[in-house]
Copies of this chain bind each other. A is one copy, B any other.
């Protein structure tokens, strides 16, 4: 329970047409909000709801606040303001401190007094759990790994030996950090020999990592995720990869070994990035595209194809296989009658 005044302060918003003392108990979408709940205008197409919403106040932009019939919390960036306000309604993260009696902690691990090691965790020799860190149930922290100040591993996270997590890192359940990279050497009989993976993983401050995402340790040098990077669920980051600060990658992206991704990039869901290439800063790649060469200029890049009815698609895809023939037939016609106008 909080008040509009407190929300406005946290969100950096100003009140319009409402009472700072009004009590607020939660958050809800515009169309279903009840008195005692706040809401926010996510998209101009929902503006019509402003006339009928029962929300105690609506977070919106100065433009949308003009002529707004509903009580409002006005903010220059309503999305940011909402993100801040919503923290008031989040269930408190575990406030427990100490080591759960079912956890196993090596005597040589270093555990800050005000951190929390949850049920059934295993913390190996020489690991360091810094102040305020929360290690949720069922996590495994390998030898000499570091979990930085205020970081939180939600549950069942595996952090392998020598991996270093910065401050305020958030890892969702099932994350694996520091597994061996896919390093193989082929012998003359066509058999694969494992190449020892001697590097580690370094995760910067404020990085967030989605459920069941995997980040391999480097072969020689470290795999590096710079500060502020946000990784969604089920992303695969291979060995020696570097992801630049403040880039955001959506679910199911796969990044092959030694690729380097710039800062402030946005990578869509299911994108595949080949190994040993570089992607510049501020590159955006749309969903299910494939990157096989370096990208040196900022901009938006794509190679995904959207669905058509299956019969039509089968026809298109059969024609596609004859594209070379088509070019040759066209060239033949051009030779015959002369080509022009086709700059």
Seen from chain A, the residues whose Cβ lies within 8 Å of a Cβ on chain B are 26-29, 32, 77, 79-80, 82-84, 86-87, 89-91, 100, 102, 104, 118-120, 122, 124, 136-138, 140, 142-143, 154-156, 158, 160-161, 170, 172-174, 176, 179-180, 182-188, 190-196, 198, 208, 210-212, 214, 216, 220-221, 228, 230, 232-234, 236, 238, 246, 248, 250-252, 254, 256, 264, 269-270, 272, 274, 284-293, 295, 299-310, 312-317, 319-343
CB pair A305–B303 under 8 Å, yes or no, is: yes
CB pair A230–B290 under 8 Å, yes or no, is: no
Chain B residues contacting A232 (CB-CB under 8 Å) are 182, 236, 238
Chain B residues contacting A326 (CB-CB under 8 Å) are 319, 326-327, 330
Residue of B nearest to A208 (CB): B194
Which among B80, B120, B305 is the interface contact of A317 at CB below 8 angstroms?
B305
Give the CA-CA distance A122 to B332 in the complex, in Å: 71
Chain B residues contacting A236 (CB-CB under 8 Å) are 232-234, 251-252, 269
Give the CA-CA distance A210 to B143 in the complex, in Å: 20
Copies of the protein in its oligomer: 3
CB pair A161–B196 under 8 Å, yes or no, is: no
CB pair B272–A269 under 8 Å, yes or no, is: yes
CB pair A336–B336 under 8 Å, yes or no, is: no
CB pair A156–B140 under 8 Å, yes or no, is: yes
Min CB–CB distance A277 → chain B (angstroms) = 11
| Given contacts A122-B138, A333-B333, A158 and B155 within 8 Å (CB-CB) | yes
Min CB–CB distance A63 → chain B (angstroms) = 16
Give the CA-CA distance A341 to B186 in the complex, in Å: 47
CB pair B342–A182 under 8 Å, yes or no, is: no
Give the CA-CA distance A100 to B120 in the complex, in Å: 13
Which among B182, B287, B302 is the interface contact of A308 at CB below 8 angstroms?
B302
Chain B residues contacting A137 (CB-CB under 8 Å) are 104, 122, 124, 140
Give the CA-CA distance A120 to B260 in the complex, in Å: 37
Chain B residues contacting A319 (CB-CB under 8 Å) are 323-324, 326-327
Give the CA-CA distance A338 to B298 in the complex, in Å: 43
CB pair B251–A256 under 8 Å, yes or no, is: yes
CB pair A256–B250 under 8 Å, yes or no, is: yes
Chain B residues contacting A83 (CB-CB under 8 Å) are 183, 185, 193-196
CB pair B250–A182 under 8 Å, yes or no, is: yes
CB pair B340–A332 under 8 Å, yes or no, is: yes
Chain B residues contacting A118 (CB-CB under 8 Å) are 122
Chain B residues contacting A192 (CB-CB under 8 Å) are 228, 230, 246, 248
Give the CA-CA distance A183 to B28 in the complex, in Å: 15
| Given contacts A185-B82, A333-B339, A179 and B211 within 8 Å (CB-CB) | yes
CB pair B305–A305 under 8 Å, yes or no, is: yes
CB pair B254–A270 under 8 Å, yes or no, is: yes
Give the CA-CA distance A295 to B312 in the complex, in Å: 15
Residue of B nearest to A137 (CB): B122
Give the CA-CA distance A120 to B87 in the complex, in Å: 32
Chain B residues contacting A208 (CB-CB under 8 Å) are 194
CB pair A154–B174 under 8 Å, yes or no, is: no
CB pair B316–A309 under 8 Å, yes or no, is: no
Give the CA-CA distance A308 to B289 in the complex, in Å: 9
CB pair A256–B228 under 8 Å, yes or no, is: no
CB pair B341–A332 under 8 Å, yes or no, is: yes
